[in-house]
Structure 1
Amino acid sequence: MFFKQHRFSNLIIPISYLLDLLIINVLAYLLPIQFQTPLLFHTYISIGWIVISLKNEFYKVYRYTKVAYILMLLFTQFIFFFLILYAFIGFFKQPIISRLAMGQYFVFVFIAVFTLKFLNYTFFMKYRERIKGNIRNVVVIGKNKKTDQLISVFQERSEFGYNFVCQFSPKLLDFDIENCFEFLLNNNVDEIYCSVSELKNEELTQIINFADNNLKTLKFIPDNKNIFSKKLKFEYYDYIPVLSLRDIPLHNPINAFLKRSFDVVFSLIIIFGLLSWLIPLLAIIIILESKGPVFFRQSRNGIDNREFYCYKFRSMAPNKDADNYSATKNDMRVTKVGRFIRRTSIDELPQFYNVLFGTMSVVGPRPHMVKHTNEYSASVDKYMVRHFVKPGITGLAQVRGYRGEIETEADIQNRTKFDIFYIENWSLFLDFKIMVQTIMNAFKGEAKAY
């Protein structure tokens, strides 16, 4: 039941990497190749495989990918793997290595990886077809030859894992885009497919805004070549061309795996290296100044708008307005020790437990109180795009001066713009840059750190 209700696709690629690297290294260990420096070969071949895979996009196999494309990936991957394999002999001067043994090793690796890749591909196809797991609910807006072909793909190719829910035709006199939006919200629709040729520019804008504000994946069925641009992602479902509006880097399983790995390692370092002794010390100081718990727990909105409990060191005297009103300048609820830990951002450190548990990331859009999310989602355009990724302890908007209290409408609009920029342009380098800036700001002090 868990796997039917949750998306676990992000785990497939990292696991595939690990299994292939295991095959490559175990076979090198078992076969009598006579390495002078086995550790050097294992390191070399592992790094080489990863670099080739990234360049070749070897693990980018989607639910609608054709078998011919997978064969092409395998062919390309092993052409380069063959070259780096035999280059090892010349680069590192290994005269005692048998060329024949290397050839046997190459063949065994090819057979093992080939078999594993097709077993993996077949397993997930059968899983979606027979068990109906990892399904996406889809709606098509438009009524023409291309939309009918796409619907046929959804219905006939059950192994793709798409559940066609409904079709709306803008050509009909009773077509109402607001009724369409209401249907999408009431029927748990995941993806929307629009025929560009049947929609007016105003309707397209409305649909784009609706999808952004309600966390729906939006894709276009093109009518001509004028729709193409570098920002759009071009894909084929069987033989039907489909365009994705937004390509989010963290929806790439490798990027998600790298970010999650960093989050786990970094949070463990902070928890054991800093919080292990800081929590008892601050607990004594907080309790001595005011009665109440050491930690403050508040419900906030995270990825896919799911609510979670965000943890902080308690910086205010216990009060009934904590979940309704953020701290303001000279707020009487803030304690003396609270002013210090808020000014230095020490109060945020317990959120590394949130990071470890997977509800937050070290860097990402800051999570807001549920009340504020409901307010801003109704008044700020594209506000809900922030929830396509996990919220962070710090973020791009925070280091650019938009942290703390929202005083004007421009504050939340600019915060949203920076958050969307981060989501669409994520990189590990950007994360490191934001973290360094956050530490510098904590030492310098910030105007809204109250």
Structure 2
Amino acid sequence: MMTVSKIRDKLKVNSGKFSNDSVAMNHIFLYGPPGAGKSSTGRILALNLKVEFVDLDAEIENFTGSTIPQIMEEWGENGFRDIETTVLKRNVKGRTKIIALGGGALLRAQNRSIAESKGAVVFLEADLQILIDRLISAPAIRPLLAGTLEEQLFLLLDRRRQHYASFGLRVTSSGKTPSETAAEIQLALGRFHVQGMGKGYDVLFQPGGFEDLVELLRESGLGPPVAIACDENVAPIYGDRLLTVLRRAGYGYNRPHMVTIPAGEEHKTIESVMKFWRRFLLAGLDRKSTVLALGGGVIGDLAGFAASTFMRGIPWINIPTTLLAMVDSSLGGKTGFDLPEGKNLVGAFHPPRLIIANPYLLTTLPDTELRSGLAEAVKHGVIADPALFALCGQGYSAVKANISEIVRRGMAVKIRVIESDPYEQGLRASLNLGHTLGHALESVSNF
């Protein structure tokens, strides 16, 4: 057990002011009462997302060399919270983590500010009897629940009722396994890691501007120089903005470059791919460079294929700008172009390193394009998500009001299918439904 004086010395060393100048990471903090399943769920969530898991109470014990009951006895609750703050500050540095917090960790305003500025706080809740049953099945010394467990837990929840109610993002763990709870958290946040094809890749539902993209590039180890690939419709709306953000951030020794092609399926050709290759060369791209595909399915397919073949394959990021691309074409790693004889006859499996689905980009999408993507979302609902199907059935106004949930649910369905069959050898064909016949009809009708 570490002495009080040594703990004080460590606290002084680590008590520097929390700086918002550090790299902004999107950690996921799991919070809630004792027995809510924060640690068991957090471990599975970290495994699903291929990130580090941190149990803050365990980190506090490692930091002090003492158990939580020993710290509480020696320091009292206020002293324990001081140590908790120090350990929390240490753990929000670095790459993305899943951090399971103690049941009172965010009572202190400073801790809450740290957590909310560094990621998403997910509140796990469960029925009182379930909390009691779980705590009984995992006996431990809990200083704040000393005495009759049922009575002390009820009193603790009553004291913290207003505090716990203040968290908006809530997931219930009642009647669910930790795996089911973790899946629901992923759906609520729109955070996925697609496995089954190479090293796998992250899929992020990321509302907001382009400012976080630079940090995501750095965290993913994707280096400059970079090239933005987009069409002539998207370039003036979003391409110029993205270019400006990258330039202001000083991302790379060579300034970012934008390559545009005319919009439309008729330009999904080898000629467009060749234009990308040549402009990549002019921009100074090499094997460590990154292509940013900013657009719908056509741009994703073309830029992804160009990246798969340029210098025998370079990394790329897909930033879909249509609903259809967000819930379907951006996911799965398929890239390619059309021939006069038919669609997608030449291509390759070359998954992006990262997919960023930003619902803000849908605000400028024409209604015809939004409805086109909605048809794909309905299909996903039919295949594997009755709640998504029901939401789509509420009418167009409801769809537009709940577009973020539709995107997250649509992505989740496709990800489950492609992970089961990444190279389209069986189950994944269910996603095609009318595609095969549809492409044939387009071909014979010159559509």
Give the TM-score, by structure 1 length. Answer: 0.30
Give the TM-score, by structure 2 length. Answer: 0.30
Q: Which has the larger radius of gyration?
A: 1
The answer to which structure has the higher helix fraction is 1
